[in-house]
Amino acid sequence: MAPTIRQVMDLILAEIPGAPFKQTVDTIKSGNPDQPVKGIVTTMFATDAVIDQAIREGANFIIAHEPTFYNHLDETEWLADDKVYRYKKEKLEAHGIVVWRFHDYWHSHRPDGISMGVLTSLGWEKYYDASTPGFVVVPSTSLGAIIDLAKKKMDIEKVKMIGDLSQSCSRIAISPGAGGGKSQIGSINRWKPDVFICGEVNEWETAEYIRDARYQGEKTALVVLGHSVSEEPGMQWLVTWLQPKLPGVKMTHVPSGDAFKTI
């Protein structure tokens, strides 16, 4: 007898320090978790395309890192009459699919599940140091080579960057996703990295800080990978982590991928 989706969630939460949290965005966005799990799909965004793929695979449980309904708290009152929202919501309901956001918990796992997935995808997991989360020292290489590595291993078309492609980088601060300016600038000040790699910035915050810092003679470069692609390996790594705990349950990672083209 397959476990219920709620039992799968409880099994996961048992591994997260301090879980369950009183305040978290990691709520159920759709569906009834008291049904037996038929299959699990992990992804960054439960897009309509990812939902259709889950349906094709016979999965009824989508674990998504980011919001389903276009805002951080997945508030839906403002979308009550919105066609795009209703189409997605009704499809999820018609197919009895549970969507659970797994953001705060996965970042609270030790090691941070997203960071470990990203380091693993880059071949940098051997440089992970639990005493300096978010910071690794790698063999010296050029900024251009680091960008090429990230593009190739993380399936990224283009990145936005501030820096000199030929500058040497060894001290890497890496913060997938969109941590916000104060957190990102705090990390830059803490580690004084050769490059700060992140998923997304508010352009009036970290980007302008780095622009001024470099103009003043500081050397830290900035690489912005794109939010979705910057964390996708962490949701791939969730399958690697979870499958041994649930050997009888089919689970796959379906990348939501980059929404954008750059031209």
Binding interface with a copy of itself (CB under 8 A): 45, 47-49, 66-67, 70-72, 78, 82-84, 87-88, 147, 158-162, 165, 178, 181-182, 185, 189, 199-200, 202-213, 215-216, 218, 224, 226-228, 259-263
220: nearest Cα among 161, 150, 160 = 161
* CA nearest neighbour of 39 among 256, 246, 255, 244: 246
Q: Which is nearer to a copy of itself, 54 or 161 (CB)?
A: 161
Q: How far is the CB of 61 from a copy of itself (least distance, A)?
A: 20
Closest approach, Cβ 154 to a copy of itself, in A, equals 15
Min dist. Cβ of residue 194 to a copy of itself (A): 16
Helix axes 143-154, 227-242, angle to 10 degrees: 60
CB closer to a copy of itself out of 65 and 241: 65
Smallest distance, a copy of itself to C-beta of residue 123, A:
21
* CB nearer to a copy of itself: pick between 33 and 181: 181
Q: How far apart are CA 98 and CA 101, in angstroms?
A: 10
CA-to-CA separations, 38 to 3, 14, 55, 181, in angstroms, rounded: 9, 21, 11, 41
Residue 169 · residue 191 · CB < 8 Å? no
Please, which residue, 70 or 128, has the CB nearer to a copy of itself? Answer: 70
Q: Judge whether 242 and 12 are in contact, CB under 8 Å.
A: yes
